[in-house]
Amino acid sequence: MSDRGLYAALAGATWGQLPSAFCRVHAPGVATGELDVRRGRTAARVLAWLMGLPREGHGTLLALRVEQQGASQVWHRRFGETVLVTRQYERAGLLREQFGPLELGFQLHFTPDLLRFDQRAVALVVGPLRLPWPRFLSPRVAAEVRPIASGAAIEVEIRAPVVGLILRYTGNVVPSEAG
């Protein structure tokens, strides 16, 4: 991994073309934001609740803290009163994000105007075991992040077979000057 961080290592030369505030949102430090959070219909709302995902709301405050832990980054997100912690790392050329026992693998596409997360893998991780999850049963996460002058505009959507939309959130994230 590059001394500049996980995302810098995955982006390669494109990282230097991205605005500083955008890069700081994806590096160890602190950021804040305001998001619009939407949940799906009844079954999806129950699933979102069981997963500990944020409540639906307009203008939901986001507090983000990214910590470097070896080759991994730990992302602490607080959506209003809901805390969501994930671990991100690189494995086999993909950005991996682990949420409890679920590991998602993303191919990242960087351009100066967009960071797109294309989900390529899902696995159930139990101790040292990594069990690939069949695509037709897998949750699907789609995410895009665009640079803005002060940081990043984000759009994340989580869907699951049968229930459809589980959660969608959009908004802006701004790195702390102290971060």
- In CATH, what number is assigned to the domain containing residue 73? 2.40.128
| 23: three-class secondary structure by DSSP | helix
**Mean per-residue pLDDT for 79-96?**
96
pTM for this prediction? 0.92
Residue 58 — very low, low, confident or very high, per pLDDT cuts 50/70/90? very high
**Mean per-residue pLDDT for 136-159?**
95
pLDDT of residue 46: 93
The pair of structure tokens assigned to 45 is 């709302």
**Mean per-residue pLDDT for 36-64?**
94
Q: Does residue 1 lie within any of the structural domains? A: no
Q: Does residue 28 lie within any of the structural domains? A: yes
Q: What total number of domains does the chain contain?
A: 1
Half-sphere exposure (Cβ direction) of 179: Cα atoms closer than 13 Å: 24
pLDDT exceeds cutoff 90 at 91: yes
- Domain range holding 42? 6-175
pLDDT of residue 178: 54
d(Cα 173, Cα 148) in Å, to the nearest integer? 9
